[in-house]
Structure 1
Amino acid sequence: MSNEETSSSDYVQSLARGLLVLRAFSAEHPALTLAEAARLTGLTRATVRRSLHTLQKLGYAVTDGKQFELTPRVLDIGYAYLASAQIGEVAQPFMEALSDQLNESVSVAVLDEFEIVYIARVPTKRIMRIGLALGSRLPALVTSMGRVIVAELPPIEQRQFLKSAPFPKMTEKTLNTKAELAKEIALIKQQGWALLDQELEDGVRSIAAPIRDKHGRTIAAINIGTQTGRTKMSQLKDDYLPRLLQAANQITSAMAKR
């Protein structure tokens, strides 16, 4: 965020700091001391203390006197977004139908800064190393849904995104450079879908397509996740892709009627 934006009279610094503290909690850090929260956020201990005690007073956090943990009430914030966005609600029946057809997991995600956030998911009972649920986040550039959404960004915004976004090497198959990634993004834009072969997780493949609003803007993505031992690349393209594109078009059409 620019200095001009943060110095605006409309900018509430205490709220920004409170949200920064809230986002310090994660699967890796479900409980935090004041010192840990200060280190993760870069804020002073005094600022962190005020934010955490405010969250506690409002019912968003609990403490044992040393560590703080979030309560289920924080889900209300996310659910309010999901309800207002309506994408998950609209997509759910089409996702369930697609999952039933293929017996595979189907997900919908949106872009938030440099990550994708899962807003709807129909899982199968097949086990994958990465556990995914509503609200799960992953680096956008190592996911099929993230790449589909980034491919649809306006050119200037896309170049800035590719320059600034993290691009972790998740597996041996993850693309090695951002130059390679830029070529892949251009291909995705041209063909209208993205296919990942074990770039996020060994043994896992996924294929994704964009979901658009009534103005044609990409607002989310839908994907199918599968395993290498069960699904060949040719099957993903020949069998899964047409069904995926149909579901994406159905969701897009349903969103346009809202």
Structure 2
Amino acid sequence: MTSLARGLAVMKCVAEAEQPVTIAQVGRLTGLSRASVRRCLHTLLLLGYVGQDERGYAVRRQALSLGHPYLSLNALAARAQPLLDTLRDSLHESCSLGVMEDDQLLYMSRAEAIRIMSINLRVGSRLPLHATSMGRVLLAGQPHAVQEAYLARTTREKFTAKTIVDRAELLIELSGVASRGYAVVDEELEVGLRSIAVPVARHGKVVAALNVGTAAARKSVVDLRDMVLPALQEAATILST
């Protein structure tokens, strides 16, 4: 077991205890030697993640910072759901909230429009960043070095004849998205599908994206910009505060 794994095991043990625990108790519960437990707890004490008194060791509030980004995103998804429901009902199109995770677009919230045929997407679905409107908004909100690193380590699939996969072309597109404040993907992920997305920012940093997806036969690119974009931007402004 690596030092990191031992440290996490000790942290988990202390966090799950209902009252302060001793080195001996942590050792028994984790199967680690007392020496290993003592070293891990010493490090966690220095970092402020655990505290110590005469009864033993207990988790401190500083440990909450480890899960703050995850908890914040889940809170954002919960706040977004009623907004997505309202957008769906007013626009009669499916609406989603997504974030970037492991070089993919991860769907966090979704309001599905009732159609005879609909895209099979749900919370937890993943799509490539380069060929989706939300993915491009999320990439456009990253520093140039992050964009370059993503393009260097990924192989981008060309889903349709329109899909942009070339590195230079994508960088130009991302620059345009950042300048415009929104992204439109026109039949690049699948023939017959269009979508538009806007960023959701917190403290000046893009943390998520909102989008509306539609059939190309139902709405043109101009329709998306004129009819859908203002409503999306209004919802994003609410989520960004």
TM-score, normalised via structure 1 length? 0.65
- In structure 2, distance between residues paired with 1:82 and 1:126: 33
| 1:148 maps onto 2:137 in alignment | yes
User: Displacement, 1:166?
Assistant: 3.0
- Aligned equivalent of 1:244: 232
- 2:215 is aligned to 227
Instruction: Provide structure 1 residue ranges, at least 5 long, that are not aligned to the other structure.
Output: 1-6, 16-80, 254-258
Shift of 1:9: 2.1
Aligned counterparts, 1:122-201, within 5 A? 122-126=111-115, 130-201=119-190
Residue 131 of structure 1 aligns to which amino acid in structure 2?
A: N
Q: How far off its partner does 1:126 sit?
A: 2.2
Question: What amino acid sits opposite 1:219 in the alignment?
Answer: V
In the alignment, which residue of structure 2 is the partner of 1:27? none
What CA deviation, in whole Å up to 9, does each residue of 1:36-55 have, x standing for no partner?
xxxxxxxxxxxxxxxxxxxx
Map of 1:9 onto structure 2: 3
The count of aligned residue pairs is 179
In structure 1, C-alpha distance between the alignment counterparts of 2:118 and 2:93, rounded to whole Å:
15
Contact 2:156 2:165 in 1 (8 A): no
* Aligned equivalents of 2:198, 2:222: Cα separation in 1: 17
Q: Is the 8 A contact 2:160 2:187 kept in 1?
A: yes
Distance 2:204 2:235 in 1: 16
1:103 paired with 2:97, answer no
Q: Which whole-Å CA distance do the structure 1 matches of 2:73 and 2:175 have between them?
A: 32
Larger radius of gyration: 2
Q: Does 1:88 align with 2:77?
A: yes
* CA distance in structure 1 between the aligned counterparts of 2:107 and 2:82, rounded to whole angstroms: 16
Once residues 150 and 193 of structure 1 are traced to their aligned partners in structure 2, the CA distance between those partners, rounded to angstroms, is 12
What letter is aligned with 2:226? D
SS of residue matched to 1:237:
helix
TM-score (norm 2): 0.69
Is the CA contact (8 Å cut-off) linking 1:110 and 1:119 kept in structure 2?
A: yes
Contact preservation (8 Å) 2:130, 2:165? no
Distance 1:118 1:104 in 2: 16
Residue aligned with 1:142, SS? coil
CA-atom RMSD, angstroms?
A: 2.1
The C-alpha deviation readout for 1:6-30, integer Å capped at 9, x for no partner, is x962147xx9xxxxxxxxxxxxxxx
Q: After the TM superposition, which segments of 4 or more aligned residues of structure 1 sit over 6 Å from their partners?
A: none
How far residue 165 of structure 1 moved from its aligned partner, in angstroms, is 2.4
Taking a change above 3 Å as real, the CA distance of residues 141 and 8 of structure 1, as seen in their structure-2 partners, is farther
Sort the Cα spacing of 1:131 and 1:82 in 2 relative to 1 into closer, same or farther, 3 A.
farther
Which amino acid in 2 is paired with 1:221? A
